[in-house]
Amino acid sequence: MSKVIRLQPALRWETGLAVVVILIVAIGSVASPDFLTGNNLFSLGLSNGEIAIMTLPMTLIIISGEIDLSVASILGMSSALLGFLWARGWPMPAIFVTLAVVGVLAGAINGLLVTRLRLPSLAVTIGTLALYRGVALILLGPNTVSDFPNAYTNLGVNAVPFTGNDMTYSTLIFIVLAIVFGVVLHATPFGRSIYAMGASAEAAQFSGIRVKRIKTILYMVSGFICALAGVLWTFRLNTAVQNNGLGLELSVVAIVLLAGVSIFGGKGSLIGVVLAVLAFAGIQNALLLTNFNQEATGIVTGALLLASVFLPNAGRLLRRLSHS
């Protein structure tokens, strides 16, 4: 029964999230006239682009009933490799190809360990979290590479032409990818299969859905996207260093859960995730603009995270309290 009762509130969570976003924008623009300036939105998009992009594959993976904590390490590894190869005079195109391959490979390792060896994905990806970060450390060690050609680094910091200087490339990429992922997740057999296996892997398998294959694919996609995020990160900061993106994984997971995606899999929507990204970025920025610095960010994020699990279950909880 409780399942049933939980459903509609779960849907309502997205609307709740929308309200939160609106509130943040309202508060933000009241607290600081600069909040809604193109310049501010631009920098907002700039500093959250990579995280935002990484939430997309994470969403699919969590809905499929698994988790990937190695995302930030793959970002770091890709960034380090980018610097490592550039320092050795590789041509950029060749480097990009290599990074794509490595990213997909890293994801494939996660996927195979989870699906073929049937290891719990939390443990596996904690392992690869250390492993991939370790590779980054081994590649660059103490060195920093920051002599990337402007042609590329500008992509990291300049605005997309014809967008009135308001949109960064990472934002553009996020929007495009969000649409793609949204359609795939909500409107294709592949996406439906992800929900099915998240809700019941066994039932999905008995319906002819290739659970293992799809999960492996999801991890590979995640690996690729994170490698891409690594490139964006490197060019935005014009710096390849081993600790790029250190610790981002928890933020990414937090955003996805904030979106009302069930950690048990099978539930959640991409609209929610986009809203959650906006909320997350908005909060940080609003707090900065109102001189709270980032100190309060953690508290607000955490509080919202709790809300995301408690509010949808409020009905159930109240009933249980009234019973006891």
Partner 1 sequence: MRAAIVPSRQQQPERLRQSGLAERVFRIRESGILVVLVVFVAVTTGVQHRFLDVSNIQFVLVDTASFALLALGETMVVISRNVDLSVGSVVGLSAYLSASLFASHPGLPIPVVFLAGLGIGLACGIANGIMVAAGRVPSLVVTLATLYIIRGIDILVVGGNEVDANQLPNAFLDIPKDTVGGIPDIAIAVAVIIAAGAYYLRTYRSGRDLYAIGSNPDAARLAGLPVGRRVFTAFAVSGAIAGVAGVLWSAQYGTINSTAGTGYELQVVSAVVVGGVAIFGGSGSVTGAAIGALLLTTISSALYVLGISSFWDQAIWGLLLLVAIALDQTLTERLTSALRKRRTRHE
Partner 2 sequence: MEVAGNEPPAQPEAAGAAPVLELRHAAKSFGAVRALIDGSVDLRAGEVHALLGENGAGKSTLVKILAGVHQPDSGTLKVNGADVTLPGPAAAKAAGIAVIYQEPTLFPDLTVAENMFVGRQPHRSASWIKGGRRIDRRAMLREAAAVFKRLGVPLDPARIARGLSIADQQVVEIGKALSLDARVIVMDEPTAALSAAEVERLFEVIRTLKSQGAAVLFISHRLEEVFAICQTVTVMRDGSHVLTSDLAGLTANDLVRAMVGRELAERPPHAAAVTTGEPVLIVERLTREGVFTDISLTVRSGEIVALAGLVGSGRSEVARAVFGIDRYDAGQVAVHGKQLKKASPTSAMAAGIGFVPEDRRQQGLVMDMSVQQNVALASLHDLEKGGLIRASAERAMASDWAARLKIKYGRLTDPVSMLSGGNQQKVVLAKWLGRKPSLLIVDEPTRGIDVGTKAEVHNLLAELAGSGVGILMISSELPEVLGVSDRILVMREGTLVAEFSHAVASEEAVMSAAMGQHDPVSEAVKHDERNDTQNGASR
Partner 3 sequence: MNLRRARKLALALPVIAAVGLAAACSSSTSSSSAPASTSAAASSAAASSAGASSTSSASTGASGSLKTGLKVFVIPKNLGNSYFTTADSAGSGGAIAALTTLGETGTETSGTAATPASQIPAIQAAVSKGANILLVSATDPTALCPTLKSAMSRGITVVTYDSDAPTCRNAFINQASTAQIGTSEVDVLAKELNDTGQIAIVSAAASATNQNAWIGYMKTELAKYPKMSLAGVVYGNDDPTTATQVTQGLLQQYPNLKGIISPTTVGIAAAAAVLDTAKYRGKIALTGLGTPDEMKKYVGDGTVKEFVLWNPANLGYLAAYAAVEIASGQITGATGQTFTAGKLGSYTIGANNTVLLGPPTVFDSTNVNNFNF
Chain residues that interact with partner 2, rule: CB under 8 A: 1, 3-5, 7, 183, 187-189, 192-193, 195-196, 199-200, 202-210, 266-267, 323
Residue 285 near partner 1 by CB under 8 A: no
Token couple for 120: 């719990």
**Least gap, CB of 262 to partner 2 (angstroms):** 9
Taking the least distance from each CB to partner 2, the nearer of 64 and 234 is 64
Q: Is 38 in the site for partner 1 (CB under 8 A)?
A: no
Specify the residue, 156 or 198, whose C-beta has the smaller distance to partner 2.
198
What is the chain's length? 324
Residue 129 contact partner, candidates partner 3, partner 1, partner 2, none, CB within 5 to 8 A by sort of partner: partner 1
C-alpha 109/C-alpha 138 separation (Å) is 19
Which residues lie below 8 Å from residue 3, measured CB to CB, with a gap of 6+?
Answer: none
Residue with tokens 């997205």: 14
Binds 122: which of partner 1, partner 3, partner 2, none (CB < 5-8 Å by kind): partner 1
- Burial code (b: 16+ CB inside 10 Å, e: under 16) for 68-103 equals bbbbbbbbbbbbbbbbbbbeeeeeeeebbebbbebb
SS3 168: strand
Closest CA to 147 of 89, 68, 67: 89
Quickly tell me which residue has 């294959």 as its tokens: 213
Identity of the residue, 42 or 224, whose beta carbon is nearer to partner 3 in the bound complex: 42
Residues 113-132 that bind partner 1 (CB under 8 A): 113, 117-124, 126-132
Site string for partner 1, 8-37 (x = CB under 8 A): ------------------------------
User: Do residues 260 and 281 make contact, with C-beta atoms less than 8 angstroms apart?
Assistant: no
Binding site residues, partner 3, CB under 8 A = 32, 34-35, 37, 39-40, 43-44, 46-47, 140-144, 146, 153, 156-157, 233, 236-239, 241-247, 284-285, 288-289, 291, 293-295
Residue 215 binding partner per list partner 1, partner 2, partner 3, none, with a CB distance cut-off of 5 to 8 Å that depends on partner kind: none
Q: Which residues contact 87 (CB under 8 A, 6 or more apart)?
A: 143, 145
55 binds partner 1 (CB under 8 A): no
DSSP 86-126: HHTT--HHHHHHHHHHHHHHHHHHHHHHHHTS---HHHHHH
For partner 3, the closer of residues 15 and 39 by Cβ is: 39
Where on the chain is the footprint of partner 1 (CB under 8 A)?
A: 62, 65-67, 69, 113, 117-124, 126-135, 137-138, 141, 198, 200-202, 242, 247, 250, 253-254, 257, 263-265, 295-299, 301-303, 305-306, 308-310, 313, 317, 320
